[in-house]
Structure 1
Amino acid sequence: MTTANFAEVLRGQALRRGQREALVDGEERWTYAELDADVDRHAAALLAAGVTPADLVGILGRNSATYLLELLALARIGAIAVPLNWRLHPSEQSYVLRQAGITALAYDDEFAGLVREVDADLPLRVLVSHGDVLERGALRLTDLLAAVPAGTRVPDAEKDRDDVHRLLYTSGTTAHPKGVIHTCANVAANHRAQVLELELTQADRILLSAPMFHVSGLEAPGLATFVAGATLVVAPTTSPADIGRLVETERITGLVLAAQILFGILEADPAPDLSSLRYLLFAGVAPSVRRQVKERLPHVRTVDTFGMTELCNGVAYMDAAHEVEKLGALGAPFPGVHIRVVDEDFRPVPPGVEGEIVVRGEKVSPGYWRDEEATRRSRRDGWFLTGDVGRLDADGYLWFVDRRADLIKSGGENIASAEVERVVASHPGVAEVAVVGVPDPRWDEVPKAWVVARPGSGLTEDDVRTHCEANLARYKVPKHVEIVEALPRNDSGKVLKKVLRQQGTASAGAAGSAELAGGAGR
């Protein structure tokens, strides 16, 4: 059997870089030697609680050193970790726990009520509380740790490349969440790629701000920080104030960040010192927004990316050499990854031609946990079908067009909602936008934009339309614009376009009938 256990990385770093700082969480700090020893303690504590290598172990918690230590300890034991989305309703949580077959669960005090509310018939054999609230016979982690003898060592379980390392459940915008399998080989391939693509070294100090139940928290670069021998700093919240403070005080060199949080940091008064930053990783941002960020932070590499949970995070990052020249592209494929764009007959299309993006390589998940049908539907001839529409240019750089489901078909023309969103987002008064197709009696579908205005901008619907008319073909200009306080999102923060379509369909019916009677055109 090969040795493909991620926890072995810590053994090597404890030997080579034992006194270098590995982990920071508030006032607590660990060197690599201390981190490796603490992972042993946590592994021994979990074993004493009854966790075995055969268990699937759920974790309900906010980002913390304890969460990280448990993930590393589970890898050392050889159990399968299942980071759980704490935003889910108890009924949804029960579904995930049952579908995964979770037999052990660790939780923060904050989520004790959720543990209490999940299905009482679930076969949870081991429960561990990170705090003091003991639900359903849970054991207290601090008590388990206190009973571990000093100097305890737990050997790293022998793992093969194809063994399951963890499950991450997708957000489930249209159906139940699906458990994406990440094998030991998937994780190792991603870590190598992160170190290479982000040029990570032991001098880096990476901020962990995205939730660890999300692939961007765990793998962008997330745990790859330890592979580079660098320092991982845990952010307690995603508030711009907290993120800005940590970037300044901990001299952060890189992080993944939502654009709205970044603008909150840039607009803070007084502004934090961001001179230590080397890169910012954020996806799905309009080129105009990325240009604004580059103007404000010219020393920072702005990294666009294409990725998803099924790909163990990103499979393309924009490199520093082309971030200006190819503004709007998502980058070139990672080492060990192949990306194609294919037509409806699964034939590769020429450069510049749009089609579905398909991917194969070491980072691609082998499928969905206990769901052979979903796995089968998402594969063809060894390729993973992303469901995204894009194009490759002559240099092999990937350009995103839209989700296939989000293409708007209006009067025989295809309109990419992502293109309209990019234009709307470039207006200085726009904070967020989502565009979907809504029914229209004359054109079948027309674009409608839901827009969140920046505070104090005084943005109006006419402002949005005028801006679009100056930057888009007439048929692509949103026929309907609605200024809203917030966009509907699922528990992972993704915009629920299905909800917007339902709202748009309901509101478009009467208005469309009246307009058709009046003979309106475009």
Structure 2
Amino acid sequence: MAGSNFTEHLRRQALRRADHQALVDGADRWTYAELDADVDRYAAALREAGVATGDLVGVLGRNTGRYVLELLALSRLGAVSVPLNWRLHAAEQAYVVEQAGITGLLYDDDFADEAAHVAGATGLRLLVANETRVVADARRLADLLAAQPAGVRVPDVERGPADLHRLLYTSGTTARPKGVMHTCGNLTANHLAQILELELTPADRILVSAPLFHVSGLEAPGLAVFVAGATMVLTPTFQPADIARIADAERITGMVLAAQILFGLLDLAEPPELATLRYLLFAGVAPSVRQQVKRRLPHVRLVDTFGMTELCNGVCYLDAAHEESKLGALGAPFPGVHIRIVDEDFQPVAPGVEGEIIVRGEKISPGYWRDDEANRRTRRDGWFRTGDVGRIDADGYLWFVDRRTDLIKSGGENVASAEVERVLAQHPDVAEVAVIGVPDPRWDEVPKAFVILREGATTTAEQLREHCRAALARYKVPRYVQLVATLPRNDSGKVLKKALREEPVVPR
């Protein structure tokens, strides 16, 4: 698969569709000609700040037109963007910055305190304040932009398919976040697949409500919108009412929604008409809910998917022709993607037989950044081992069976039980701990901790939760902490989390 600098597409669109709307952020709107010119300005400004080809640069901010411009400008310069999860604790941000080797940070005012903490705890050499709050020796983006001459042009740095485009950090199933590498070739393969599978054209207006530090915000279809010459529309919040209002007002034709937002839309007193919507992309929604949505929106294609950050978003979408006959399936593989089900000996199984889902293809990440152990564990013979359980039917459609055992999915975020266990184990009164995910009507799952205290300790469950709040993002803090005398174990001493999941949820 040939690869190139993604922002070369903007040059082409600026020539072919100069006056076509490219990006919408509330009242701020860019045509393709304006977007391309502003990306040049931002690239020149960041270059003046000290960003160079190959630098790893963190971006800490909410979904705005400025955020998109910064990502595109970093691409134009040949720098590696690292969109940072603003829900993480400042200490977690500092770990990511150090582990990745990030040298620059662009931050919004909302996250100035986190930026200050990271600047003092890591080896950052440059900071850019996107708004007014200046920390350490940060330079203001407005000043950098004002210093650029009118009509400045910055050429796209040449990139090959194996060159690193960005890092996306995901908690995965280990105690520390892992940096997933996305190459220029990964993006090229994903964008072509998105255009084919979602049938994107310049007439599309795609709503991006998922945060741009998530693969679902960046690549479902995300940046492929610009490759298709379509329009990207951003939402300022994840609130169902805001999404409904914008989807109707902006004549949205496609969007991806987390399950809890979809439920929120259905529960609105005045649900949106969504007359122009032609597809709705989601995952993890029960077949009965899909049928309910279809009854309300019979004109909309409902697209289920199987995806991960490591796969550069989804690797299969359920097609419109099989929306009813394959209800519950996740679709057939994208072009250029192969999916296989294997047994415990890594041998392929027959159609309909359950096993581990493994994937290979041009859009699959080459691995984790600076993490050889994780790469050895998840790669074999050119395949990526998802750890998820599924089956493939006789027609080649993937059916999901179960998720990776120790990964907690909470409100669309991955929470590694090992990470929460590590933090709880640091409390001086904790002798042993095990963390699982338990069902939650709003967030799908929330963390629950089983804790054995040291002899004589009187620490309460709420005190342990407070300990977690000092080191973890809010969504990772256990909703429930149950103090226990023992933990169920097998003959080798391993905690039996399956048995813990069968325990009733008790108030904290």
Equivalent residue, structure 1, for 2:178 = 178
How far 1:261 sits from its partner (Å)?
A: 1.4
- Pairing partner for 1:452 from 431, 441, 455: 441
Aligned partners of 1:214 and 1:492 also within 8 Å:
no
Equivalent residue, structure 1, for 2:130 = 130
Residue 42 (str. 1) matches residue 31 (str. 2):
no
Query: Partners of 1:404 and 1:54 in 2: how far apart?
Result: 34
Query: Partners of 2:126 and 2:437 in 1: how far apart?
Result: 49
1:92-131 CA-partner distances (Å, limit 9, x unpaired):
1110000000001000000001111226142211110110
How far 1:237 sits from its partner (Å)?
A: 0.3
- Structure 1 residue identity aligned to 2:188: A
Equivalent residue, structure 2, for 1:26 = 26
How far 1:316 sits from its partner (Å)?
A: 0.6
1:238-274 CA-partner distances (Å, limit 9, x unpaired):
1011100000100001111022212322332333221
User: Secondary structure of the equivalent of 1:399?
Assistant: strand
Equivalent residue, structure 1, for 2:500 = none
Aligned partners of 1:3 and 1:158 also within 8 Å:
no
Query: Partners of 1:266 and 1:502 in 2: how far apart?
Result: 32
- Structure 2 residue identity aligned to 1:385: R
Residue 143 (str. 1) matches residue 143 (str. 2):
yes
In structure 1, the gaps of 5 or more residues are 408-416, 419-433, 437-446, 455-487, 510-522
User: Secondary structure of the equivalent of 1:304?
Assistant: strand
Equivalent residue, structure 2, for 1:159 = 159
Equivalent residue, structure 2, for 1:190 = 190
How far 1:491 sits from its partner (Å)?
A: 8.1
- Structure 2 residue identity aligned to 1:141: L
1:294-318 CA-partner distances (Å, limit 9, x unpaired):
1111111110000100000000100
Query: Partners of 2:362 and 2:155 in 1: how far apart?
Result: 27
- Structure 1 residue identity aligned to 2:168: L
Q: How many residues align?
A: 438
1:69-96 CA-partner distances (Å, limit 9, x unpaired):
0000000000000000111111111100
Equivalent residue, structure 2, for 1:83 = 83
Provide closer, same or farther for how the CA distance between residues 149 and 249 of structure 1 changes in structure 2, counting only shifts above 3 A.
Answer: same
Which runs of structure 2 are paired with 1:270-419 in the superposition (5 Å)? 270-405=270-405
User: Secondary structure of the equivalent of 1:345?
Assistant: coil
User: Secondary structure of the equivalent of 1:120?
Assistant: helix
- Structure 2 residue identity aligned to 1:189: A
Runs of 4+ in 1 over 6 A off after TM superposition: 488-496, 504-509
Provide closer, same or farther for how the CA distance between residues 292 and 47 of structure 1 changes in structure 2, counting only shifts above 3 A.
Answer: same
- Structure 2 residue identity aligned to 1:238: F
- Structure 2 residue identity aligned to 1:381: D
- Structure 2 residue identity aligned to 1:197: E
Equivalent residue, structure 1, for 2:461 = none
Provide closer, same or farther for how the CA distance between residues 71 and 491 of structure 1 changes in structure 2, counting only shifts above 3 A.
Answer: farther
Query: Partners of 2:124 and 2:118 in 1: how far apart?
Result: 11
Aligned partners of 1:171 and 1:491 also within 8 Å:
no
- Structure 1 residue identity aligned to 2:104: A
- Is the deviation greater in 74-83 or in 48-57? 48-57
- Is the deviation greater in 110-119 or in 241-250? 110-119
Identical-pair percentage:
67
Aligned partners of 1:56 and 1:82 also within 8 Å:
yes
User: Secondary structure of the equivalent of 1:396?
Assistant: coil
Aligned partners of 1:355 and 1:390 also within 8 Å:
yes
Query: Partners of 1:386 and 1:504 in 2: how far apart?
Result: 33
User: Secondary structure of the equivalent of 2:405?
Assistant: helix
Q: What RMSD, in angstroms, separates the aligned Cα atoms of the two structures?
A: 2.7
User: Secondary structure of the equivalent of 1:124?
Assistant: coil
How far 1:140 sits from its partner (Å)?
A: 0.7
How far 1:508 sits from its partner (Å)?
A: 9.2
User: Secondary structure of the equivalent of 1:305?
Assistant: strand
Aligned partners of 2:260 and 2:442 also within 8 Å:
no
- Structure 2 residue identity aligned to 1:452: P
TM-score normalised according to structure 2 size = 0.82
Query: Partners of 1:253 and 1:140 in 2: how far apart?
Result: 37
- Structure 1 residue identity aligned to 2:372: E
Provide closer, same or farther for how the CA distance between residues 453 and 170 of structure 1 changes in structure 2, counting only shifts above 3 A.
Answer: closer
Aligned partners of 1:205 and 1:251 also within 8 Å:
yes
In structure 2, the gaps of 5 or more residues are 410-414, 418-435, 444-467, 489-508
Provide closer, same or farther for how the CA distance between residues 333 and 506 of structure 1 changes in structure 2, counting only shifts above 3 A.
Answer: farther
TM-score normalised according to structure 1 size = 0.79
RCO (CA 8 Å, sep 6+): is it higher in 1 or 2? 2
Equivalent residue, structure 2, for 1:512 = none
Equivalent residue, structure 2, for 1:483 = none
Query: Partners of 1:279 and 1:139 in 2: how far apart?
Result: 42
Aligned partners of 2:259 and 2:284 also within 8 Å:
no
Aligned partners of 1:247 and 1:273 also within 8 Å:
no
Query: Partners of 1:320 and 1:358 in 2: how far apart?
Result: 25
User: Secondary structure of the equivalent of 2:388?
Assistant: strand
Provide closer, same or farther for how the CA distance between residues 310 and 202 of structure 1 changes in structure 2, counting only shifts above 3 A.
Answer: same
User: Secondary structure of the equivalent of 1:401?
Assistant: strand
Provide closer, same or farther for how the CA distance between residues 71 and 391 of structure 1 changes in structure 2, counting only shifts above 3 A.
Answer: same
- Is the deviation greater in 285-294 or in 328-337? 285-294
Query: Partners of 1:58 and 1:452 in 2: how far apart?
Result: 34
Query: Partners of 2:485 and 2:82 in 1: how far apart?
Result: 39
